[in-house]
Amino acid sequence: MVLAMVIIDVRRFEALIFDLDGVITQTASIHARAWKQLFDEFLARRVTETDRTFVPFDLENDYRRYVDGKPRLAGVASFLAARGMTVPTGAPGDQADQGTAQGLASRKDHYFAELLTREGVHVSASAEPLLREARRCGMRTGIASSSHHCAEILHAGGLTALFDARVDGIDLDRLGLAGKPAPDMFLEADGVSTHLLRGRPCSRMRRQASKPLAQAISDLSSASDPQRARWSYSSMVRIRL
């Protein structure tokens, strides 16, 4: 596949908002493996309790189709529904062996943290140069991620200082925002970035996003092909003064 050159005209935009996993950092594969470990264990237990055939979680298709970019509880519900299963929602603090979505989500978080500690954070090669160039040109930068580990990942990758605004899985829970493909995270990050551009103190209150960006995000989230509804940045991006 040949990628077209993307040129960012700083005269038209005041801020850039990025996804995290698979865009700024190569952590999507860690999420996928944490989900696989969780679901394969869960499915194996179900096989012993029922007459179902064990079909393992697929790192590529199942991950992208059912859990990629979604908040943890939504990911649990989405994948299990695809397998014709449901579990009670449960409560925060539940353990995985309690058979609740909260317990499973917590266990997935534990597996992800273990993998992250063991393997570290790999930053996309062109991410830091692009962020530094954008900031040199006077643009604000924001990050939006469903991950509860967003701040930890940015810190480990030495990227924290390169973002003016961050909206992550913790904010999704606190503010009641919908996860992807809904545009809520990006609109929230845009609101924070807009607030910063106006020179006001930054808070995490929800704000109305700029209309051009809001329309672009809405168009993106409603794309018929879910693979096209993913933003990625590479060396094919240039900033034009």
Mean pLDDT, rounded, for 69-90: 93
Please give the full DSSP string across 43-79, using - where no structure is assigned.
HHHHHHHSSPPP-PPPTTHHIIIIITTS-HHHHHHHH
- pLDDT band for position 8 (50/70/90)? low
Residue in 21, 94, 164, 184 annotated catalytic: 21
Tell me, yes or no, whether 7 lies in a domain: no
Residues 6 or more apart whose CB falls under 8 angstroms from that of 233 comprise 6, 18, 23, 24, 124, 126, 127, 130
Q: What is the extent of the structural domain holding 59?
A: 29-119
CATH of residue 208's domain is 3.40.50.1000
Give pLDDT tens digits for 178-223: 888 788 888 888 777 665 555 443 333 223 334 443 443 344 334 3
**Tell me, what's the pLDDT at 205?**
27
From 83, 100, 119, give the residue that closes a domain. Answer: 119
To which residue do tokens 């924070």 refer? 192
Domain count for the chain:
2
How confident is the model over 60-79, as a mean pLDDT? 92
21 is catalytic: yes
Please answer whether residues 220 and 231 qualify as being in contact, where contact means their C-beta atoms are separated by less than 8 angstroms: yes
Range 103-123 average pLDDT: 93
Whether the bond into 71 is cis, omega within 30 of 0? no
- Asked if residue 177 belongs to a domain, the reply is yes
How far is the C-alpha of 74 from the C-alpha of 96, rounded, in Å? 16
pLDDT value for 207? 33
Task: State pTM to two decimals.
Answer: 0.71
Is 19 in the active site?
yes
Looking at the structure, do residues 70 and 114 belong to the same domain, yes or no?
A: yes
Q: Judging by DSSP bridges, how do beta strands 6-9 and 15-19 pair with one another?
A: unpaired
Query: How many CB atoms are closer than 10 A to CB 223?
Result: 12
Specify if 2 maps to a domain: no
Q: In this structure, are residues 145 and 21 in contact, taking their beta carbons and an 8 Å threshold?
A: yes
- 57 and 108 in a single domain? The answer is yes
Which is catalytic among the residues 19, 62, 168, 190? Answer: 19
pLDDT at 2 over 90: no
